[in-house]
């Protein structure tokens, strides 16, 4: 059980919940019904995300030895070769689940998504601009995997919004150790407002659907904006870390809002359950090392 918990820490297990809704949002935008083998796609996203987290720690093992010696690799609880093997195995599993859930139309997006994840962890992450943009591209491609080739155009708006939010979170996360700046955190907070506006702009449909979308969008902004404003007022490392965690958790209501924009109350209901599960697990988590960042 101890070794299992070490691997959960390696892949940032609580944060995996925040990626499940990407393909639901993309599928909703493309008009795909919820159910059947397509329900495998969120699991594909989870495996690819977890593989990326394992690869992240493999690539960061020297830095973590100085800055985060409690992480699984520098603490000696997981060896670097085993972390790399876990990253590879999870990536292959994610691609297999992508093919199973969406056929060649999904795997055609899943392959470049896997490539983008490995590119970020091994090449781009140490560069502020290209790293953030690559991470945003990963999240956008995950949304598009839910739509599949042939249905990409209607999902581009949702992919762009999720990608934009991810870019902002990634930029802010660079201040987790040494602190951020007021300008950076203020820009991220302003970006949250712009993205919330983009979600609801031009939305139409039944009154109940529009009201639910507005509520989910408000929940998204309320989940992350206060921590971002706090980081802007006091740009110390602790506040940057808390704002990063808040930004990660805010992805679930954002996905739900995008699903509702495209009329999928069923997908939004699933995401509401995922959000409740995440809250429950965080309340029960007694291991401070099992965090989302």
Give the model's confidence band at 222: pLDDT under 50 very low, under 70 low, under 90 confident, else very high.
Answer: very high
What is the tens place of the pLDDT at every residue in 68-110?
899 999 999 999 999 999 999 999 999 999 999 999 999 999 9
* Helix intervals (H) in the chain: 2-10, 13-16, 21-30, 41-59, 61-67, 80-119, 128-147, 156-173, 182-200, 207-233, 237-249, 251-261, 265-284
CA distance 261 to 141: 19
Structure tokens at 248: 């990660």
Q: Domain tally for the chain?
A: 1
Give the model's confidence band at 114: pLDDT under 50 very low, under 70 low, under 90 confident, else very high.
Answer: very high
Decide: 289 and 70 in contact? Cβ < 8 Å: yes
Give the model's confidence band at 163: pLDDT under 50 very low, under 70 low, under 90 confident, else very high.
Answer: very high
Give the model's confidence band at 292: pLDDT under 50 very low, under 70 low, under 90 confident, else very high.
Answer: low
Q: Does some domain include residue 88?
A: yes
CA-based nearest residue to 293, from 1, 64, 43: 64
CATH of residue 268's domain is 1.10.600
Q: Does some domain include residue 289?
A: no
**What average pLDDT score do residues 175-186 get?**
96
Question: How confident is the model at residue 287, as a pLDDT?
Answer: 59
Q: Does some domain include residue 113?
A: yes
Q: Does some domain include residue 291?
A: no
Range of the structural domain that residue 157 is part of: 2-284
Question: How confident is the model at residue 217, as a pLDDT?
Answer: 98
Q: Does some domain include residue 24?
A: yes
């Amino acid at each position: 059980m101890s070794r299992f918990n070490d691997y959960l820490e390696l892949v940032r297990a609580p944060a995996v919940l925040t990626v499940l809704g990407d393909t639901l949002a993309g599928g909703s935008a493309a008009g795909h019904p919820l159910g059947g083998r397509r329900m495998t796609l969120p699991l594909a996203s989870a495996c690819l995300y977890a593989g990326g987290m394992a690869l992240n720690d493999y690539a960061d093992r020297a830095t973590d030895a100085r800055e985060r010696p409690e992480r699984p690799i520098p603490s000696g609880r997981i060896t670097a070769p085993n972390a790399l093997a876990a990253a590879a195995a999870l990536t292959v599993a994610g691609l297999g689940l992508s093919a199973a859930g969406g056929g060649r139309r999904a795997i055609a997006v899943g392959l470049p998504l896997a490539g983008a994840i490995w590119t970020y962890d091994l090449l781009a992450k140490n560069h502020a601009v290209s790293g953030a943009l690559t991470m945003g591209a990963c999240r956008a491609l995950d949304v598009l995997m839910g739509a599949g080739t042939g249905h990409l155009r209607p999902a581009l708006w949702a992919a762009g919004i999720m990608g934009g939010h991810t870019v902002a979170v990634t930029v802010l996360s660079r201040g987790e150790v040494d602190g951020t700046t007021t300008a950076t955190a203020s820009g991220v907070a302003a970006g949250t407002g712009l993205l919330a506006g983009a979600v609801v702009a031009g939305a139409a449909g039944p009154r109940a659907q529009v009201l639910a979308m507005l509520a989910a969008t408000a929940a998204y902004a309320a989940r992350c904006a206060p921590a971002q404003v706090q980081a802007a007022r006091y740009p110390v490392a602790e506040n940057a870390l808390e704002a990063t965690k808040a930004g990660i958790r805010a992805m679930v209501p954002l996905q739900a809002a995008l699903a509702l924009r495209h009329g999928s109350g069923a997908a939004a209901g699933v995401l509401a359950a995922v959000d409740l599960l995440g809250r429950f697990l965080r309340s029960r988590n007694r291991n401070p090392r099992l965090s989302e960042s």
